[in-house]
Amino acid sequence: MALTERLEAIFQEVIKRNPGEAEFHQAVKEVLESLGPVLVKYPEFAEAKVIERICEPERQLIFRVPWQDDKGEVQINRGFRVQFNSALGPYKGGLRFHPSVYLGIIKFLGFEQIFKNSLTGLPIGGAKGGSDFEPKGKSDGEVMRFCQSFMTELWRIIGEHTDVPAGDIGVGGREIGYLFGQYKRLTNKFEAGVLTGKGLVYGGSQVRTEATGYGCTYFVEEMLKGKKNGFKGKKVVVSGSGNVAIYTLEKVKELGGKVVAMSDSNGVIVDEKGCNVETVKRLKEIERRRIKDYCEYHKHAKYIHNGNIWDVPCEVAMPSATQNEITGKDAKKLVKNGCIAVGEGANMPTTPEGVHVFLSAGVLFGPGKAANAGGVATSGLEMQQNASREAWGFEETDAKLHQIMKNVYQLCSEAAEEFGSPGNFVVGANIAGFIKVARAMIAHGIV
Ligand code: GLU
């Protein structure tokens, strides 16, 4: 969609002020493309320069993370925290540990997080952080020393009412535990609400581990229901084999679908009988092994080294690995093979060309900032429990997550309809997420 003159000028300014940050530019452009009709209806947003302000993070921290590996050698990584927007509540968003991390990745993620968090209906602002640290192949001791060093800088700018980090790629329960332990030492406070994704024994929430995958599956279920359809009997492909992919697999199976392929950065497994949840969990969560080893336990399954998972025919695609994993070409292949719905478990996994292919073909498309909002929503529920010193049961928490995902779908669907793009959940998510933040920003004055 073409940008109006005013939005194009804002976009050009973002490129100029943030050179070399391609992923950030991509995330901003996608949101701006949806906002034309909003500025027509609410000229006060343009007047108060709300969009220009949203595109500029409120605060950014870049820091050195020195640590010692098991051989005694000194290693240096770079740490980031971008506190993007606090109009709706304390900054909130995960930490990503991956060698590809640089400021442009953290800014794209932080920017998306603003709208995602707004869509959850919970009082949380948007942020993201992380490091170019590579957790793959590191010992527990190395990961712990890295996390302690990372927190030794980060603790100054976070807090339960200020900024609440959590996990993302490369950061799970183990890392959150080490980060929390160091925060507690540095501050001499047991401040449970400062991090989410904690272990259940020290203030974590039920369902937080499962939340992104379950939530994404609930969102796709709503999209299918809107077309009088459902998961029953559907062939599903889920890329990745991390936390999001594993719990997508579990929930899809529960709802009667069959996940026939999964992947990691080395290759793809295809199991026409349906991927086995227990095997994937054991390999990935406990033994930290590669997806290839799945075939040792299920001889009928195929492993394709360096394969392209989007070549595997399916009716529902749930990209749950990383950004820009579905290209325009992949999207065309999926459509040709009969794909009718896509739910983005990862953040921005479909390129703009891919999104265009899906929308033009009438594929139900759930963009990440709506479809994967269940993770951060359950983090919001963890914060609620920490604040009231309560711990809810699994079913109660899952029911709340389910309801939140239904609401997110409803919000996207209604906004898309109201602003002239019925069925376009990209436009719906961007508009519904934006309007709430914009209203709060206007209420706060020029800040
Ligand atoms: N990293 C997740 C996301 O992309 C979760 C963030 C959180 O729980 O704060 O939304």
Q: State the chain's mean pLDDT as an integer.
A: 98
Residue 1 has pLDDT above 80, yes or no: no
110 lines ligand 1 (CB under 6 A): no
Q: Is 406 a catalytic site residue?
A: no
Give the helix/strand (H/E) hosting 321.
none
Residue 314 has pLDDT above 60, yes or no: yes
Q: What is the pLDDT of residues 222-259, one digit of tens each?
A: 999 999 999 999 999 999 999 999 999 999 999 999 99
Q: Identify the pLDDT of residue 167.
A: 98
Strands (E), 264-339: 267-270, 302-305, 316-319
Q: Identify the pLDDT of residue 3.
A: 80
Q: What is the pLDDT of residues 123-160, one digit of tens each?
A: 999 999 999 999 999 999 999 999 999 999 999 999 99
Q: How far apart are CA 27 and CA 104, in angstroms?
A: 10
CA of 373 to the centre of ligand 1 (A): 8
Let me know: does 266 contact 291? Beta carbons within 8 Å.
yes
CA of 386 to the centre of ligand 1 (A): 17
As beta bridge partners, residue 305 has 267
Residue 392 backbone class (left: φ over 0; alpha: ψ -120 to 50; beta: rest): beta
As beta bridge partners, residue 348 has none
Let me know: does 196 contact 379? Beta carbons within 8 Å.
yes
Residue 188 has pLDDT above 80, yes or no: yes
Percent of the chain exceeding pLDDT 70 equals: 100
Give the ranges where 1-139 is alpha helix by DSSP (H): 5-17, 22-41, 43-47, 50-54, 103-119
Active-site position among 92, 128, 198, 284: 128
| For ligand 1, mutation pick of 124, 379, 385 (most atoms within 8 Å of CB) | 379
Q: Identify the pLDDT of residue 44.
A: 96
Helix%, strand%, coil% for the chain, nearest 5: 50, 15, 30
92 lines ligand 1 (CB under 6 A): yes
3-state secondary structure of 320: coil
**Strands 316-319 vs 341-343: parallel, antiparallel or unpaired:** parallel
Q: How far apart are CA 62 and CA 71, in angstroms?
A: 27
- Residue 206 burial (CB count, 10 A): 21
30 lines ligand 1 (CB under 6 A): no
Nearest to 269 by CA among 221, 321, 306, 220: 306
- Residue 184 burial (CB count, 10 A): 17
Q: Find the radius of gyration of the CA atoms of the chain.
A: 21
Strands (E), 193-337: 235-239, 258-263, 267-270, 302-305, 316-319
Q: What is the pLDDT of residues 16-34, one digit of tens each?
A: 999 999 999 999 999 999 9
Q: What is the pLDDT of residues 265-282, one digit of tens each?
A: 999 999 999 999 999 999
Residue 95 backbone class (left: φ over 0; alpha: ψ -120 to 50; beta: rest): beta
166 lines ligand 1 (CB under 6 A): yes
Q: How far apart are CA 101 and CA 132, in angstroms?
A: 5
CA of 40 to the centre of ligand 1 (A): 32
Query: What's the token pair of residue 219?
Result: 């969102």
Q: What is the pLDDT of residues 205-227, one digit of tens each?
A: 999 999 999 999 999 999 999 99
3-state secondary structure of 325: coil
Burial per residue of 359-374, b for 16 or more beta-carbon CB atoms within 10 angstroms, e otherwise: beeebbbbbbbbbbbb
- Residue 284 burial (CB count, 10 A): 22
367 lines ligand 1 (CB under 6 A): no
CA of 295 to the centre of ligand 1 (A): 31
Q: Could you give phi then psi for residue 210, rounded to 5 degrees?
A: -80, -15
Q: How far apart are CA 382 and CA 293, in angstroms?
A: 34
- Three-state SS string over 119-183 comes to HCCCCCCEEEEEECCCCCCCCHHHHHHHHHHHHHHHHHHCECCCEEEECECCECHHHHHHHHHHH
Q: Identify the pLDDT of residue 232.
A: 98
**Nearest atom (ligand 1) to Cα of 378:** 8
Let me know: does 351 contact 326? Beta carbons within 8 Å.
yes
Calculate mean pLDDT across residues 103-110: 98
Q: What residue ranges define each of the domains in the chain, with the CATH number in brackets? A: 5-54 (no CATH), 59-189 (3.40.50.10860), 211-371 (3.40.50.720)
Let me know: does 162 contact 128? Beta carbons within 8 Å.
no
Q: What is the pLDDT of residues 328-385, one digit of tens each?
A: 999 999 999 999 999 999 999 999 999 999 999 999 999 999 999 999 999 999 999 9
Q: Identify the pLDDT of residue 285.
A: 92
Let me know: does 213 contact 238? Beta carbons within 8 Å.
no
Residue 43 has pLDDT above 90, yes or no: yes
Query: What's the token pair of residue 236?
Result: 């599903």
